Structure 1
Amino acid sequence: MIYIHFIINPISGSGKHNLSASYILSQFSKEEYKIQVDYTNQKKHAIVLTKAAITRNPDYIIACGGDGTINEVASCLVGTSIKLGIIPVGSGNGLASNLNIPRNFDKAIAIIKKGNSTAMDVGQLNHKYFFSNMGIGIDAMIIKKYERAGKRTLPAYIKAALSSSLEFKPQKTIVHYNDQIVETDPLMLFISNSNEMGYNMSLTPKASLHDGLLDMIIIPKLSFPEKIMLGYHVLRNSIEKFEKARHFLVKNIQIEMPSKIFIDAQIDGERYNLKTNKIKVSILPGALQVLVL
């Protein structure tokens, strides 16, 4: 018998998805599967629920939510033999899109039943994990404003981006990577494991979850017209045509912001205030087993 533990974030995305325990239970025969369903009721609750589920030794733990919920569940599964499954009900769903996991509940559950898995790379930022991407530039401010908007929609994201483009002030940043040291005042310092940010947008369209490398994008301070052009290329997924965007393949990065005490970051689309001005970012090859088509 296969034991599958589902963790549902009821307010992911618009909070209007109708994924329920009764629907999930109706999709699995009692003869073949043992099914447990939990609901989160606040941020970080998925971590508590996942750790409790791990003690019961399930075969799969399924994150039902967006990239933030997936991060909380998957962070507890790194280095274990328990397979992560995903039913994407978030707003951006960047990681699920990269993994070709559809938003259709029946099709996502069919992937879970099939049981095929792959080992994907995991990014690590100090003691936190990321599975899609992280950033310490304007994207961190965008996420902060986006969360405050209370609406997880693409127009709300674009509004937050426009507002941030007027307010964000780049800070001196020292970046160590590939035996090089670079001093920059970045509008954006973005490090990605996956090929999509969400909403079908990407700064790293050639990134792979399986190559043992992270894709780093550094974009310097820009004039306002250049910011508009950058936004155009992000929306069109044509960042490679934006000449001021520098792209690097890296395994380990050290970042210091000497004028800061704490660093604001976004990690898988969620805002964090890191209680340090130095961070280390690295790749953990094949550290997570995830169910795929």
Structure 2
Amino acid sequence: MQRYCLIANPNAGKMRKVPLLNAVRSLLDKAGLEHDVRTTDAPGLGITLAMEAAAAGYRGVLAFGGDGTVSEVASGIIGSDLTLGIIPAGTMNLFARELGIPTRLEEAVQIIAQGHTRRVEVGKVEGRYFLLGASAGLDAAIVRNVTPGSKRRWGKWAYYLKAPLTLLTYSYPAVRLVMDGGVTMQGGTVVVANARDYGDGYRIAPGASLDDGVMDACLFRGRRAFNYPRYFWALRRNRHLLLNDVDYYKASNFLLRPVKENTKIPFQIDGDYLCDLPVKIQVIPKALSVYSPEA
């Protein structure tokens, strides 16, 4: 089949403000990209729709939405022969930005039409895949406390609204991080990043690359609430790696678990709460084919 499957999220940031779906369909038609449309408006539905598209034999799957939509659609086609096209319509669009895909709809569609592809790694944990990053500790606690309704209403500001109370009430239990079965460290919060930028566009992993076969771990050793405004301030200025209680590593396998057994420590992937520790993260090189600008 030479047609594409366009999976659109009507709740994505830009989609809530302007009826863009018809405009995108017109752009795809002008570019000669025949397509069918599916909409995803519930958590996990994007994965199911992408898996159905893979089984139906489409030429490729196009994700029209934000990072959450892109992550779900990508998860549904990993292991297939399909290539992912991204038409950014979210609040941050971090994965598209990491790939160099512009936010202008016309330019994003042209990248798909040009047909240049790139293979990138993904993370796998608890049977789920992630594209951007994962974390345990305070960051994941904030994510866990944000409801889907508040995300739809406030976008990225939902996280900022929950951050102060979570900062004061979180207990900061120690997380043990074991990398590639060897190096072991512990701290209050761990971020495992595939992309350089994280959250609200903070460059948490300046040495990260989507196709180097490893991911970058940033460990914040502080375990008191007063540590984290300092971390946040330094992160805003790209100076967090200069702090003497922040560590930075690269690895292909990560084990995260509580230092004290039976301690509940939240864990999130790509901005969605997944489970409590322990978890094992595996980096899968070249797992996903994506349309991207030529280098």
The one-letter amino acid of 2:173's match is Q
Between 97-106 and 257-266, report the one with greater CA deviation: 257-266
Task: Provide the residue aligned with 2:121 in structure 1.
Answer: 121
Residue aligning to 2:160: 158
Closer, same or farther: CA 31–107 of 1 in aligned 2, 3 Å: closer
Amino acid at match of 2:267: A
How many residue pairs were aligned?
A: 290
- State the AA in 1 paired with 2:61: I
Identity of aligned residues (%): 25
Give the 3 Å change call, closer, same or farther, for CA 270–152 of structure 1 in structure 2.
farther
Matched, 1:170 2:162: no
Offset of residue 143 of structure 1: 1.3
SS in 2 for 1:237: coil
Deviation at 1:105, TM superposition (A): 1.1
Give the corresponding residue for 1:279. Answer: 279
Query: Using a 3 Å threshold, how does the CA distance of structure 1 residues 261 and 15 change in structure 2: closer, same or farther?
Result: farther
Aligned-pair distance for 1:290?
0.6
Alpha-carbon offset, residue 72 of structure 1: 1.0
The answer (yes or no) to whether the contact 2:175–2:189 under 8 Å persists in 1 is no
* AA partner of residue 274 (structure 2): Y
Match of 1:206 in 2: 207
Cα drift, residue 17 of structure 1: 4.2
Whole-Å Cα distance in 2 between the matches of residues 28 and 92 of structure 1? 23
Change (3 A) 1:221 1:240: closer
The 8 Å contact of residues 85 and 112 in structure 1, kept in 2 or not, is answered as yes
1:1-293 equivalences in 2 (<5 Å): 2-13=2-13, 16-18=16-18, 20-29=20-29, 32-147=32-147, 149-150=150-151, 151-180=153-182, 182=184, 184=186, 186-257=187-258, 258-260=260-262, 263-274=265-276, 277-293=277-293
Per the TM alignment, residue 230 of structure 1 is displaced from its structure 2 partner at its CA by 0.7
Q: How far apart, in 1, do the equivalents of 2:237 and 2:161 lie?
A: 17
Give unpaired runs (5+ residues) of structure 2. none
Q: Please give the per-residue CA displacement for 1:166-185, whole angstroms capped at 9, x wherever unaligned.
A: 1221223333224435363x
Q: TM-score, normalised by structure 2?
A: 0.89
CA–CA separation in structure 1 for the residues paired with 2:30 and 2:108? 19
CA drift of 1:221 comes to: 2.5
Q: Which moved more, 1:124-133 or 1:193-202?
A: 193-202
How far apart are residue 52 of structure 1 and its match?
Answer: 1.6
Unaligned 5+ residue runs, structure 1?
none
Quote the Cα distance in structure 1 between the aligned partners of 2:243 and 2:19: 40
What RMSD, in angstroms, separates the aligned Cα atoms of the two structures?
Answer: 2.3
TM-superposed CA distance for 1:39, in Å, is 0.9
Cα 1:59–1:263 change in 2 (3 A) is farther
